[in-house]
A and B are shown apart, each in its own frame.
Chain A
Amino acid sequence: MSYRIAKNLDSALEALKEKDPATRIVAGATDLFLQEMPARLVDVSSIEELTAIEEIDNRLVIGAAATHARAAASELIKGRAAALVEACLQVGSPQVRNIGTLGGNVVNAAPAADAAVALVALGAKAVLVDSSGVWREEAVARLYSSYNCSALDGCTELLVRFLIEPCGQGEGSAFRRFAARKALALPLANAAARLKLENGMIASLSLVAAPVGPAPTRLIGTEAAILGKPAGEETWLLAAETAAEEVEVRGSLLRCSAAYRRHLVGILTADALRAAARRAAVSQSGSLT
Chain B
Amino acid sequence: MPTGIVESPVKIDPRVAFQSPEVWAKVTGKAIYGGDLMLPGMLYGRILRSPHPHARIKKIDIKQASGLAGVRAVLTGSSIVQKPYGIVIDDELPLAEAVVRYIGDEVAAVAAVSYEQAAEAARLIRVEYEELPAVFDPAEALKKGAPQLHAKFPGNIAWERHLERGNCDQAFREADIVVENTFTVPPIHSTYLEPTVCLAVSDPYNGLILHTAVQSPDQVRTIVARVLDLPLSKVRVIGPVMGGGFGGRVYGNLKLYIIASLLAIRTGRPIKMQLTREEEFLVGRPLIGAELKLRMAVRSDGTILAREADIITDNGAYSAQAPWVSKTLSERNDSVYQFKAIKTKVRLVYTNKVPTGQYRAYGNQAANFATESLLDMAAAKLGFDPLEIRLKNCVRAGDVTVHGLQLKSCALADCLKAAAAEIGWHNRKEGRGYGISAAIHSSGSVVFDKNFRGAAALARLELDGRVSIFSGEQDYGQGAHATFTLIAARALGIPAELITIHTRDTLASPFSIGALGMRQTTIGGNAIRLAAEQLREKIVQTAADMVNEPVIFEGGSVKSASGQVIELPAIAFRYYSLTSGLTLVGEGKYVPAESAYDKSGYGNIAVTYSFAAHAAEVEVDKLTGEIIVHRIVAAHDSGRIINHLAALGQVYGGVTQGLGMSCFEGYLFEGGRVANASLADYRIPTSLDVPAIVPLFIEQDDPEGPYGAKGLGEIVQIPVLGAIANAIADTAGVRVTDLPITAEKVFLALSGWECEA
Taking CB as reference atom, which chain A residue is nearest B660? A181
In the assembled complex, the CB of B628 is this many whole angstroms from the nearest CB of chain A, namely: 10
Chain A residues contacting B689 (CB-CB under 8 Å) are: 181-182
Docked-complex contact B756 and A258, CB < 8 angstroms = yes
Chain B residues contacting A253 (CB-CB under 8 Å) are: 668, 670, 675
CB-CB under 8 A for A182 and B748, given A253-B670, A253-B675, A259-B753: no
Docked-complex contact B688 and A264, CB < 8 angstroms = no
Docked-complex contact A260 and B680, CB < 8 angstroms = no
In the bound complex, what is the Cα–Cα distance between A166 and B757 (angstroms)? 43
In the bound complex, what is the Cα–Cα distance between A93 and B680 (angstroms)? 12
CB-CB under 8 A for A180 and B664, given A254-B676, A259-B756: yes
In the assembled complex, the CB of A238 is this many whole angstroms from the nearest CB of chain B, namely: 16
Docked-complex contact A182 and B686, CB < 8 angstroms = yes
Taking CB as reference atom, which chain B residue is nearest A182? B688
Chain A residues contacting B623 (CB-CB under 8 Å) are: 267
Docked-complex contact B756 and A178, CB < 8 angstroms = no
Total residues of chain A contacting the partner, CB 8 A: 21
Chain A residues contacting B742 (CB-CB under 8 Å) are: 180
Docked-complex contact B626 and A181, CB < 8 angstroms = no
A-B CB pair tally, cutoff 8 Å: 50
Docked-complex contact B747 and A184, CB < 8 angstroms = no
In the bound complex, what is the Cα–Cα distance between A46 and B427 (angstroms)? 57
Taking CB as reference atom, which chain B residue is nearest A257? B756
Q: Which residues of A (240-267) have their CB < 8 Å from a CB of B?
A: 251, 253-254, 256-260, 263-264, 267
CB-CB under 8 A for A180 and B683, given A256-B744, A260-B747: yes
For the complex, is B578 an interface residue (Cβ under 8 Å from A)? Answer: no
In the assembled complex, the CB of B120 is this many whole angstroms from the nearest CB of chain A, namely: 15
Taking CB as reference atom, which chain B residue is nearest A183? B686
Docked-complex contact B624 and A181, CB < 8 angstroms = no
Docked-complex contact B675 and A260, CB < 8 angstroms = no
For the complex, is A185 an interface residue (Cβ under 8 Å from B)? Answer: yes
A165-187: CB near B (< 8 Å → 1, else 0) gives: 00000000000001011111110
In the assembled complex, the CB of A261 is this many whole angstroms from the nearest CB of chain B, namely: 9
In the bound complex, what is the Cα–Cα distance between A139 and B624 (angstroms)? 32
In the bound complex, what is the Cα–Cα distance between A186 and B743 (angstroms)? 15
In the bound complex, what is the Cα–Cα distance between A253 and B689 (angstroms)? 22
In the assembled complex, the CB of B626 is this many whole angstroms from the nearest CB of chain A, namely: 7
In the bound complex, what is the Cα–Cα distance between A253 and B668 (angstroms)? 7
Docked-complex contact B683 and A181, CB < 8 angstroms = yes
For the complex, is B193 an interface residue (Cβ under 8 Å from A)? Answer: no
Chain A residues contacting B751 (CB-CB under 8 Å) are: 263
Chain B residues contacting A183 (CB-CB under 8 Å) are: 686, 688
B657-701: CB near A (< 8 Å → 1, else 0) gives: 000000010001010000110001101011011000000000000
Chain B residues contacting A180 (CB-CB under 8 Å) are: 664, 683, 742-743
Q: Which residues of A (24-39) have their CB < 8 Å from a CB of B?
A: none
User: Most chain-B Cβ atoms within 10 A of its Cβ — which of A186, A251, A263?
Assistant: A263
For the complex, is B27 an interface residue (Cβ under 8 Å from A)? Answer: no
In the bound complex, what is the Cα–Cα distance between A188 and B757 (angstroms)? 16
User: Most chain-B Cβ atoms within 10 A of its Cβ — which of A178, A185, A186, A254?
Assistant: A254
Partner pick for A254 among B675, B744, B748, B753, CB 8 A cutoff: B675
In the assembled complex, the CB of A289 is this many whole angstroms from the nearest CB of chain B, namely: 25
Taking CB as reference atom, which chain B residue is nearest A256? B744
In the bound complex, what is the Cα–Cα distance between A182 and B744 (angstroms)? 15
Docked-complex contact B755 and A181, CB < 8 angstroms = no
In the bound complex, what is the Cα–Cα distance between A256 and B757 (angstroms)? 9
Docked-complex contact A263 and B681, CB < 8 angstroms = no
Chain A residues contacting B626 (CB-CB under 8 Å) are: 178
Docked-complex contact B664 and A181, CB < 8 angstroms = yes
In the bound complex, what is the Cα–Cα distance between A181 and B688 (angstroms)? 8
Docked-complex contact B668 and A185, CB < 8 angstroms = no
In the bound complex, what is the Cα–Cα distance between A289 and B595 (angstroms)? 71
In the bound complex, what is the Cα–Cα distance between A15 and B681 (angstroms)? 36
In the bound complex, what is the Cα–Cα distance between A253 and B742 (angstroms)? 13
A77-97: CB near B (< 8 Å → 1, else 0) gives: 000000000000000010000
Partner pick for A184 among B676, B686, B743, B757, CB 8 A cutoff: B686
A183-207: CB near B (< 8 Å → 1, else 0) gives: 1111010000000000000000000
Chain A residues contacting B744 (CB-CB under 8 Å) are: 188, 256-257, 260
Chain B residues contacting A256 (CB-CB under 8 Å) are: 744
In the bound complex, what is the Cα–Cα distance between A212 and B650 (angstroms)? 43
Docked-complex contact A260 and B676, CB < 8 angstroms = no
CB-CB under 8 A for A263 and B686, given A180-B742, A257-B756: no
Chain B residues contacting A254 (CB-CB under 8 Å) are: 668, 675-676, 681
In the bound complex, what is the Cα–Cα distance between A254 and B683 (angstroms)? 10
In the assembled complex, the CB of A255 is this many whole angstroms from the nearest CB of chain B, namely: 9
User: Most chain-A Cβ atoms within 10 A of its Cβ — which of B624, B675, B742, B755?
Assistant: B624
Chain B residues contacting A257 (CB-CB under 8 Å) are: 744, 755-757
B717-757: CB near A (< 8 Å → 1, else 0) gives: 00000000000000000000000001110011001010111
CB-CB under 8 A for A264 and B675, given A180-B664, A181-B685, A183-B688: no
Docked-complex contact A178 and B624, CB < 8 angstroms = yes
Chain A residues contacting B748 (CB-CB under 8 Å) are: 260
In the bound complex, what is the Cα–Cα distance between A188 and B744 (angstroms)? 10
In the bound complex, what is the Cα–Cα distance between A179 and B686 (angstroms)? 12
Taking CB as reference atom, which chain B residue is nearest A184? B686
Partner pick for B624 among A184, A186, A258, A267, CB 8 A cutoff: A267
Docked-complex contact B686 and A181, CB < 8 angstroms = yes
Chain A residues contacting B757 (CB-CB under 8 Å) are: 251, 257
A211-233: CB near B (< 8 Å → 1, else 0) gives: 00000000000000000000000
Chain A residues contacting B753 (CB-CB under 8 Å) are: 259
Chain A residues contacting B624 (CB-CB under 8 Å) are: 178, 263-264, 267
Partner pick for B683 among A93, A178, A185, A259, CB 8 A cutoff: A185
Docked-complex contact A251 and B668, CB < 8 angstroms = no
B443-480: CB near A (< 8 Å → 1, else 0) gives: 00000000000000000000000000000000000000
Chain A residues contacting B668 (CB-CB under 8 Å) are: 253-254
In the bound complex, what is the Cα–Cα distance between A256 and B748 (angstroms)? 11
Q: Which residues of B (499-550) have their CB < 8 Å from a CB of A?
A: none
In the assembled complex, the CB of A32 is this many whole angstroms from the nearest CB of chain B, namely: 15
Chain B residues contacting A259 (CB-CB under 8 Å) are: 753, 756
CB-CB under 8 A for A251 and B756, given A178-B624, A260-B747, A260-B748: yes
Taking CB as reference atom, which chain A residue is nearest B623? A267
Taking CB as reference atom, which chain A residue is nearest B676? A254
In the assembled complex, the CB of B268 is this many whole angstroms from the nearest CB of chain A, namely: 34
Chain A residues contacting B680 (CB-CB under 8 Å) are: 184, 186
* A-B contacts, 30 listed (Cβ < 8 Å): A93-B686, A178-B626, A178-B743, A180-B664, A180-B683, A180-B742, A180-B743, A181-B683, A181-B685, A182-B688, A183-B686, A184-B680, A184-B686, A188-B744, A251-B757, A253-B670, A254-B668, A254-B675, A254-B676, A254-B681, A257-B755, A257-B756, A257-B757, A259-B753, A259-B756, A260-B744, A260-B747, A260-B748, A263-B747, A267-B623
Given contacts A185-B683, A258-B756, 15 further A-B contacts (CB under 8 A): A180-B742, A180-B743, A181-B664, A183-B688, A184-B686, A188-B744, A251-B756, A253-B670, A253-B675, A257-B744, A257-B756, A259-B756, A260-B744, A263-B751, A267-B623
B contacts, CB < 8 Å to A: 623-624, 626, 664, 668, 670, 675-676, 680-681, 683, 685-686, 688-689, 742-744, 747-748, 751, 753, 755-757
Q: Give 10 nearest A-B pairs by CB, closest first.
A: A182-B688, A257-B756, A183-B686, A260-B744, A256-B744, A181-B689, A182-B689, A254-B681, A183-B688, A253-B675
